Amino acid sequence: MEAAAESRLLRWLRGLPSPVRAAFWACFGAGFGAHLYAFTNIIPNSDGISRVYDAQQMTVSGRWFLHYASMWNGYLQAPAVIGFFSLLFLALAAALTVSLLKLRTPLSGGLAGALMAVFPSMAYTCLYLFTASAYCFGILLAVLSVWLLRRLPRWGILPAALLLACAVGTYQAYLAVAASLVLLCVVLRGLEQGSGCKALLGDALRSLLYLVLGLALYYGILRIFLAVKDLELLNYKGISSLGSGLGPLALLKQIGAAYLGFFRYFFVPGSFASYTTPLSALLHGVLALAGLWALLRLLGRGGWGRRPLALACLLVLCLLLPLAMNLTVLMGEPMPIMRYALVFAYLPVLWLTERALRRERPASGEAAGKGTERPGPAGPARVAALLAALGLCLVSFYVDNVVYTGAAQAHRATQSFATRLVERVESAPGYEAGMEVLIVGGFPSKQYHSELEVYELTEDYSAPSGTVIPLNKHVYYYLNDWLNVPWPEPEEKTLIALSDSEAFRAMPLYPSDGSVAVVDGKVVVKLASRYTPKKDYEIAYENRR
């Protein structure tokens, strides 16, 4: 029985289309190579230093499903285990994506899978290693929801919407993943089948209904979680308002910013993303030209010029793609981790150049005269697109590892600083073991930083010019959880009172002599001129459940 089941499984795997299998293995292999450093080290960022072990209860941030999405590998930062599950989920998402788009060659499928693995946004995801596998599972849920919608046209919309709600409940940015992919499916299917305006609009409206229903389920389930746990959403980056405060003019402005950001990301070096370089912009230009050439060729071959209404509908849907892929701009500041849906901009070029170079040719033997489709010769546009995609894989591979190098450098600088800080405290005149240590301020990044130009490719929390302990609370997190220094964080009122005292004001800033002193039986460390009280959302976050 067991052998028969194994045999059926092997037959099923061998029966999968070769592009799907190529996407899975290319994604898994390229991802392992690109992110190996992250999966064999722990590189804490400002969030990660408090997450050596964390149950991922993030209902207060609207991520009610994150706790469950994290259960695959537990709640401990175990890099190798998290890395395995992250790549497994991402590779499955790549395979389903290639299946949905119906790429026809292993080369296209493999490049699609590799691009989905090494896209720089994934490196920033892996900097949040404590939750990387959950986020990759969220991507898989978003892709799987679209797969169900497209493969089960009669009754798939309800389970698809539920999976979408879970994906958005893992991380809100994955709404853009689902929106991009489902719109791509509508456009590419319509282009291949020569659909009329009615069919295109019907397909688009069904996809819109799926997105609206998924969001409604997400919000409904979120409200249940908040009510049961007696919580309120964090008042942080618009989470509590959930975008309800956007008026028509503000919304139009955000939509314009999404379009502008999309083109700046791909074609303007260092603009929307610091890791967009002249080389990557050039490769993006090659892909864009190859895709445009293939699109015009397919439109001419399909006689779309004789159907202006259908052509107009198709072009309108095409124009919505940049908005869908950069939808996170409407949610607030688009951090690098939120940009993953932009990777889907590469895939239609692979699809278009495949289809544009195919011909209806009579096959030999029994199939002769039946119009069996056979691949035509690879033209210059197809070759250019494949080489550009391969080049972007290599560029992204490089950027990923610069990100990890920069983050590791930031951690080394932080560890060095924190270690010397502990030594200063323990060597302060009058210090005794067990004394309360009052630290005011975070890592003084203006005094401790790296100016290597290569780190300009990285952004915010990953660069050595930043820090992994920017806030007062992060100092205590780092000392407690990473250096095993048992100094409890003082109460808020204690630090506020200390910051207002004359004795504190008279002290010089660290590392000057006198910046670490014993005052009234407590060790005082002055890293900043004043203590910055915690905001309401920080307190609510610390009490999350």
Residue with tokens 């239609």: 348
- CB contact set of 86 (below 8 Å; sequence gap of 6+): 31, 35, 39, 126, 132, 133, 135, 136
Give the separation between CA 24 and CA 98, rounded to whole angstroms. Answer: 9
**Which amino acid, residue 394?**
L
Give the separation between CA 37 and CA 35, rounded to whole angstroms. Answer: 5
- CB contact set of 121 (below 8 Å; sequence gap of 6+): 336, 337, 338, 339, 340, 342, 343
Cβ atoms of 518 and 31 within 8 Å: the answer is no
Q: What are phi and psi of 120, to 5 degrees?
A: -50, -30
Give the separation between CA 384 and CA 386, rounded to whole angstroms. Answer: 6
Give the separation between CA 407 and CA 44, rounded to whole angstroms. Answer: 8
**Which amino acid, residue 29?**
G
CB count in 10 Å sphere of residue 36: 15
CB count in 10 Å sphere of residue 240: 16
| Residue 444 structure tokens | 């003084």
pLDDT at residue 363 in the model:
46
Cβ atoms of 147 and 311 within 8 Å: the answer is no
Distance (Å) of CA 20 to CA 32, 94, 209: 18, 8, 28
pLDDT at residue 372 in the model:
44
SS3 at position 526: strand
Strand 437-440 to 522-526 pairing: parallel
Stretch (H or E) spanning 394:
helix 380-426
Q: Is the pTM of the predicted complex or chain greater than 0.75?
A: yes
pLDDT at residue 214 in the model:
97
Give the separation between CA 74 and CA 23, rounded to whole angstroms. Answer: 28
Q: What are the mean pLDDT values of the chain's consecutive 10-residue runs (545 residues total)?
A: 58 80 97 96 83 86 94 89 97 97 95 98 93 97 97 92 97 96 97 93 96 97 94 67 63 92 94 91 97 93 90 96 94 85 97 79 45 54 94 96 88 90 94 93 74 69 66 91 92 92 93 92 93 84 77
pLDDT at residue 443 in the model:
85
For the chain, the distance separating the N- and C-terminal CA atoms, rounded to the nearest angstrom, is 45
Using a 10 angstrom Cβ sphere, with 0-12 exposed, 13-18 middle and 19 or more buried, the burial of residue 33 is: middle
User: Residue 119: which of 307, 4, 265 has the closest Cα?
Assistant: 265
Cβ atoms of 365 and 114 within 8 Å: the answer is no
Residue with tokens 């202006």: 308
pLDDT at residue 369 in the model:
42
